[in-house]
Amino acid sequence: MNTPPRECSIGEEGDDDVMMKYSAAALVLAALASPIGPLRAQAPAAESRSVWDGVYTEDQAKRGETIYLKECAACHGAMLTGGESAPPLTGGPFLANWNGLTMGDLFDRIRKTMPQTNPGRLTRQQDADILAFMLSINKFPAGKTELYRQSEMLKEIRFESAKPAPKK
Amino acid sequence: MREKKSKRLKTLVFLFLAGLLCWPPDASAQFHPKDTEWPSYAADLAGTRYRPLDQINASNFSDLEIAWRIKTDNFGDRPEYKLEGTPLMVNGVLYATAGSRRAVIALDPATGELLWIHGEHEGKRGGAAPRQLSGRGLAYWSDGKEERIFYVTPGFRLMCLDAKTGVRIPSFGNNGEVDLKLNDDQDIFPDLITGEIGIQSAPVVAKDTVIIGAAFREGMTPKSMHNNKGYVRGFDVRTGKRLWIFHTIPKKGEFGNDTWEKGSAEYTGNTGVWTQITVDEQLGLVYLPVESPTSDFYGGHRPGNNLFGETLVCVDLKTGERKWHFQLVHHALWDMDISSAPILADITVDGKPVKAVAQPTKQGFLYVFDRVTGKPVWPMPERPVEVGSVPGEWYSPTQPIPSKPPAYSRNGVSIDDLIDFTPALRERAKEIASKYHLGPVFTPPTVSKLEGPLGTLTMGTASGGTNWPGGSYDPETHNVYVFACNSCIEPIGLVPAPKEVSDIAYIAGTAGREVEILHGPGENAGADSPKPPKKSAGGGFNRMDVDGLILVKPPYGTITAINLDKGEFVWQIAHGETPDLVRNHAALKGLNIPRTGQTTYNIGTLVTKTLVIAGEGNVTTTADHPRGAMLRAYDKMTGKEVGAVYMPAPQTGSPMTYMVNGKQYIVVAVSGGPYSGEYIAYTLPSTGE
């Protein structure tokens, strides 16, 4: 049902891991697409992380804010509330659209399609910084390590809109 | 890769031999669309989204299965995640715009087989377009023999194609195209490649005229008070010759020019018609829903009422001359636009027949007029509204308020609107709201101050109520059916615009964040540069929710049936499954919360002989269905849900329906989040399978 998205613009920066990324994406998506039921149950319990586990730093989010205001705010709004031609990047519908997926899915979406007038123009680091800023605005906690800038690594971080119950 | 493409300004037309071979035989006699077809964007030129079909009904809706589907990924150099099109189905062929190229595709409506595709490679002109992606659709024209398809490319060229082959009609314009950046009674600046103007809505063809409006970038933080203007033009369907133009910002000497004080009509731009246009072919009248002038939230550089900003204008189909107009919002300050197609309805009010036009809006008012005279069907008295205090702003002391029907969605924020699931949640909602200025509809924006208010908390503005999908109208019951966002909160604060950012005095923003707006990466980074105040990222941001819960009470999104004979609601329901965050929220455990509907502003409705049909705009995962969204059907008389069918992603383009080979189909565009655009056709299982 879900076909893996094509990595169309990433190769431009001379990445040598396009094929690897492609197959990683395929595996993860295949896993996501196959069964029915709560997706988070499928993630390995031991080492899996979610956006609630401090997956970016405050400094990174600050960098991301500067880039966001320059590159994204004209359409998505300075407050991330979206506009007539761009969806909101905060609030209910945004959280609902990505709930149960991974940061890698969100990262890939930005890599492939944004900024709209020239997709793929930003570096992976810049895109990761923007993602960190989006996480901070959506009140996911900051941590001690920066958000990865590789899709296949980001796919290990689950996007969960609701705060999980405290671990026993 | 991109470089190569931009050099390739040429047309690619693929003709699929198979498509040609199975082409349906002759289109005989004069063209009369059947009610089993869907010949224009909103089913008809009256904007009704109505077809009297009944094979799919309450008894079988939930049995629907996918007849065919088509991903739009390959109709462009990258996938798109915001597929907003509504296809046409006429004379046995389904036509749609698709993909980031805004290609035109022709499909077999029973099987989805691709018959032909047409794409325009526009290079930099396409890349610089203010309205990209596949747009909302296209228009069909036939004289009974010839069949033509019209669409506008992202780069703002009107294309005329042979509907049988997808090949340009050479006798139309310049080899099948008209450059819409030319012959527009203005010089589009700075140049034809990057000059900001475009359109994403579908063209309208009425009699032998194709009508095109104009759209621009989002106007929250524009770079200048100067911009191109969004005039509306009519073109001859055969030759592409410009027949008429309507100046949405009147030129010197034209009616309404004096509503732009201090010469502001000269430089103010936007004020286009970016949404769907409606036509009464019999009366020969065109209804133009005009958007806001330049700078959505600050109008200090355009003192006056600003005709025809946010005005419903009726013009003559043959000449484009204004017949009547009604300004819904004087001196626009809320980005209300007029965002959707006016709806034509022949109704009976107090025993008298009225040819009416009903206009759904973001502000949740359904404005109803006599469409011949422009007189309100029910009084719309000018009522005093709050006059704000933003320096340099010009305020209209009154706004027209419809006395009937009542507002069908929230268009202001009061303490009463805040959530009351629990006392604790309510307190936190009040605390957030206390940082803002609250008020009813037409409460003006404020300058954002750290000590408060951060801005005006509004609803029914930029993204509220009814946006571009508009409503539906049922000529049997005389009901308008319309989706509305009832929870699209829009904080509108203004900050002084740094000169490097804009020549406008105030742009949208929040106190405490000006520094970031001011400086791009690398600026002011030198040793002796002033240090920006130290604060955490997102300082000044206030999420409009409490632990993920929207600040205001449900219902979050509604569908309302409004009877136009009486100007009263017939029913109103929450549309859409309760969001996962609400259903699974720890603070709401044990509470019995009825279906809340969903926060979204782009849901279009379809009305048939018995049903109102609309998909959901949010993704949910429930016990009944995996991650996805539902296409829902309601009894059009009562609003009771009678069936639902699963979609893999939210509805992003409004559903349409048609019959072919004795079977009814419903086609809907879905996309969003990680799911790239796809048209899905549903039909009933064939018996015996």
> For residue A9, what pLDDT is reported?
35
Judge: B621–A39 Cβ closer than 8 Å, yes or no: yes
Q: Which chain A positions have a beta carbon within 8 Å of B132's beta carbon?
A: 116-117
For chain A, the distance separating the N- and C-terminal CA atoms, rounded to the nearest angstrom, is 37
Q: Which chain B positions have a beta carbon within 8 Å of A67's beta carbon?
A: 521
- Range 132-151 of A in CB contact (< 8 A) with B: 133, 136-139
Q: What is the mean pLDDT of chain B?
A: 91
Give per-residue pLDDT as tens, B328-353.
Answer: 999 999 999 999 999 999 999 999 99
Q: What pairs with residue A60 in β-bridges? A: none
Residue of B nearest to A111 (CA): B78
Q: Report yes or no: A166 at the B interface, CB cutoff 8 Å.
A: no
Measure the CA dihedral B521/B523/B527/B532, to 10°.
-80
Residue B508 and residue A78 in contact, taking contact as beta carbons nearer than 8 Å? yes
Judge: B672–A97 Cβ closer than 8 Å, yes or no: yes
Q: How buried is B641 (Cβ within 10 angstroms: 0-12 exposed, 13-18 middle, 19+ buried)?
A: middle
**Rounded distance, CA A81 to CA B335, Å?**
14
> For residue A47, what pLDDT is reported?
61
Judge: A93–B517 Cβ closer than 8 Å, yes or no: no
CA angle B77, B81, B82 (to 5 degrees): 110
How far off is chain B from A82, nearest CA to CA, in Å? 8
> For residue A17, what pLDDT is reported?
38
Judge: B584–A162 Cβ closer than 8 Å, yes or no: yes
For chain B, the residue count is 689
Report, as an integer, the average pLDDT of A68-96: 85
Lookup: tokens for B171: 């006798």
Enter the pTM of the model.
0.88
> For residue A167, what pLDDT is reported?
56
Nearest to A84 among B218, B617, B648 (CB): B218
Over 80: is that where the pLDDT of B251 sits? Answer: yes
How far off is chain B from A91, nearest CA to CA, in Å? 7
B655 prior amide bond cis, ω within 30: no
Q: What is the mean pLDDT of chain A?
A: 76
Read off the amino acid at residue B440.
P
Nearest to B619 among A5, A62, A97 (CB): A97
Share of chain B above pLDDT 70, in %: 91
**Rounded distance, CA B659 to CA B456, Å?**
49
Band of pLDDT at residue A74, cut at 50, 70 and 90 = confident
What's the Rg (C-alpha) of chain A? 15
Band of pLDDT at residue B547, cut at 50, 70 and 90 = confident
Judge: A81–B491 Cβ closer than 8 Å, yes or no: yes
Lookup: tokens for B16: 């699929």
**Rounded distance, CA B564 to CA B477, Å?**
9
C-alpha pair distances (Å), B353 with each of A16, A130, B567: 71, 57, 14
Band of pLDDT at residue A77, cut at 50, 70 and 90 = confident
Give Dmax (Cα) for chain B: 82
Lookup: tokens for B200: 């994403």
> For residue B545, what pLDDT is reported?
85
Q: Which chain A positions have a beta carbon within 8 Å of B462's beta carbon?
A: 83-84
Judge: B617–A93 Cβ closer than 8 Å, yes or no: yes
Read off the amino acid at residue B359.
Q
Over 80: is that where the pLDDT of A31 sits? Answer: no
Report, as an integer, the average pLDDT of B19-43: 67
Q: Report yes or no: A6 at the B interface, CB cutoff 8 Å.
A: yes
Judge: B538–A133 Cβ closer than 8 Å, yes or no: yes
Over 70: is that where the pLDDT of B530 sits? Answer: no
DSSP for B264-319, please give it.
HHHH--B----S--EEETTTTEEEEE---BSSSS--TTS-S--TTTTEEEEEETTT
Judge: A73–B221 Cβ closer than 8 Å, yes or no: yes
Over 50: is that where the pLDDT of A41 sits? Answer: no
Judge: B599–A91 Cβ closer than 8 Å, yes or no: yes
Q: Which chain B positions have a beta carbon within 8 Å of A90's beta carbon?
A: 543
Q: Which chain B positions have a beta carbon within 8 Å of A74's beta carbon?
A: 217-218, 220-221
- Reduced to 3 states (helix: H, G, I; strand: E, B; else coil), residue B658 is strand
CA angle A114, B157, B655 (to 5 degrees): 65
The secondary structure element, H or E, covering residue B430 is helix B423-433
How far off is chain B from A23, nearest CA to CA, in Å? 17
> For residue A79, what pLDDT is reported?
80
**Rounded distance, CA B406 to CA B430, Å?**
27
Over 80: is that where the pLDDT of B35 sits? Answer: yes
Name the one residue in this structure whose structure tokens are 């109102």: B612
Judge: A136–B221 Cβ closer than 8 Å, yes or no: no
Higher pLDDT, B534 or A91: A91
Q: Which chain B positions have a beta carbon within 8 Å of A71's beta carbon?
A: none
Over 80: is that where the pLDDT of B524 sits? Answer: no
B301-317 in b/e form (b: 16+ CB < 10 A) is: bbbbbbbbbbbbbbbbb
Over 60: is that where the pLDDT of B4 sits? Answer: no
Q: Which chain A positions have a beta carbon within 8 Å of B584's beta carbon?
A: 162
Residue B597 and residue B558 in contact, taking contact as beta carbons nearer than 8 Å? yes
For chain B, the distance separating the N- and C-terminal CA atoms, rounded to the nearest angstrom, is 48
CA angle B356, B357, B359 (to 5 degrees): 145
Give per-residue pLDDT as tens, B230-243.
Answer: 999 999 999 999 99
Give per-residue pLDDT as tens, B82-137.
Answer: 999 999 999 999 999 999 999 999 999 999 999 999 999 999 999 889 998 999 99
Judge: B462–A113 Cβ closer than 8 Å, yes or no: no
- Reduced to 3 states (helix: H, G, I; strand: E, B; else coil), residue B585 is coil
Q: Which chain B positions have a beta carbon within 8 Å of A70's beta carbon?
A: 520-521
Judge: A113–B544 Cβ closer than 8 Å, yes or no: no
Q: How buried is A8 (Cβ within 10 angstroms: 0-12 exposed, 13-18 middle, 19+ buried)?
A: middle
Give A104's contacts (C-beta < 8 A, 6+ positions apart).
A25, A28, A151, A152, A153, A154, A155, A156, A157
**Rounded distance, CA B344 to CA B436, Å?**
39
- Range 62-121 of A in CB contact (< 8 A) with B: 62, 64-67, 69-70, 73-75, 77-87, 90-93, 95-101, 105-106, 108-109, 112-113, 116-119
Judge: A96–B521 Cβ closer than 8 Å, yes or no: no
Superfamily of domain B2-522+539-683: Quinoprotein alcohol dehydrogenase-like superfamily (2.140.10.10)
For chain A, the residue count is 168
Give per-residue pLDDT as tens, B176-195.
Answer: 999 999 999 999 999 999 99
A10, A79, A110: best to mutate for the B interface, most B CBs within 10 A = A79
Residue ranges and CATH numbers for the domains of chain A are 48-158 (1.10.760.10)
Nearest to B221 among A2, A58, A78 (CB): A78
Judge: A65–B537 Cβ closer than 8 Å, yes or no: yes
Q: Which chain B positions have a beta carbon within 8 Å of A118's beta carbon?
A: 2, 127
For residue B535, the Cα-to-chain-centroid distance in whole angstroms is 38
DSSP for B314-346, please give it.
EEETTT--EEEEEESSSS--S-----S--EEEE
Judge: A6–B73 Cβ closer than 8 Å, yes or no: yes
Q: How buried is B33 (Cβ within 10 angstroms: 0-12 exposed, 13-18 middle, 19+ buried)?
A: middle
Backbone angles phi, psi at B677, to 5 degrees: -60, 140
> For residue B31, what pLDDT is reported?
64
How far off is chain A from B212, nearest CA to CA, in Å? 19
